Amino acid sequence: MPLTRRQVLKKLALALGGTLSVPVIGAGLSCRSPASDAAWAPRTLSASQNDLVMAIAEAVLPATDTPGAREAKVHEFIDLLLTDWLSDEERNRFLIGLAELDAACREQTGAPFPELSPERQLDFLRPYDEAAVAARHARQDDDDPLPFFGTMKEMTLVGYYTSEIGMTRELQHRLVFQSFDGCVHVDQVGRAWA
C-alpha cells in the first residue's frame, strides 16, 4: 500500500529528530501559555509575512482527514521561534528567505503564494524542496544553515507534531488524563520526574 505524503513527512520528521536544530527543538519543548485566537498577533512577522508563512506551512502539511498546519497554529509557533529563540542572524536569514520566495513566486506565477491553488503551490515549492533535501545531504556540519525552505519545513514539522493537534489527532498520542496542558510549572505538580 503506497504511503500518503503526510505519512512520509511524519516518518521523515521522526527520522530527523536527532538532526533538528537546537532552537527548533528548544522552542518545541518551551513552556508558553497559549493565547486565545482573538488575542494572538505576530510579534516578528508582519501581517503579510504571517499569511505567507501560514500558506507555506499548510502546503507542507495540508488538512486531510486530520487538521493541517493552519489549524495547528504552526504560524504562531514559527513567530515564537523568530521572536524568542533564533539569533538575529538566523531570524534575518529566515526573513530574507521568506521575502525572496515571495518575490520569486510573484515573478514566476504572477500572484502571491497564498492566492495560488494548492496544486500550483506544490508545483512552485517542488524545486525549493528538492534543493533543501540536496543541501541537507551535502551538509558537512549540522551548524551549516539550510536553505530557507529547509528551515521553514523543519519549523513546520516540529511546530505541527509538538502541537496538541499533531500529538493527539495525527500521532494519536493518548494522554493519561485526557487533557493537554502544555504549560504546567513544576511548582504546581511537584517534582517533574517523580
What pLDDT tens digit does each residue of the chain (194 aa) get?
A: 455 555 555 555 555 554 555 455 555 555 554 455 578 999 999 999 999 999 999 999 999 988 999 999 999 999 999 999 999 999 999 999 999 999 999 999 999 999 999 999 999 999 999 999 999 888 877 778 889 999 999 999 999 999 988 888 777 766 565 666 667 776 776 655 54
How many other CB atoms are found less than 10 A from the CB of residue 164? 16
Q: Is residue 36 in some structural domain?
A: no
Report if residue 194 sits inside a domain.
no
Phi, psi of 56 (to 5 degrees): -65, -45
**What is the count of structural domains for the chain?**
1
Domain boundaries, position 174: 5-30+41-189
Give residue for cell 536569514.
Answer: 93
Specify the 3-state DSSP secondary structure of 95: helix
pTM, two decimals, is 0.73
Predicted pLDDT of residue 144: 80
Q: How far apart are CA 80 and CA 174, in angstroms?
A: 26
**Angstrom distances, CA of residue 97 to CA of 36, 102, 128, 159:** 29, 8, 11, 19
- Determine, yes or no, domain membership for 89: yes
Residue 35 is assigned to a structural domain of this protein: no
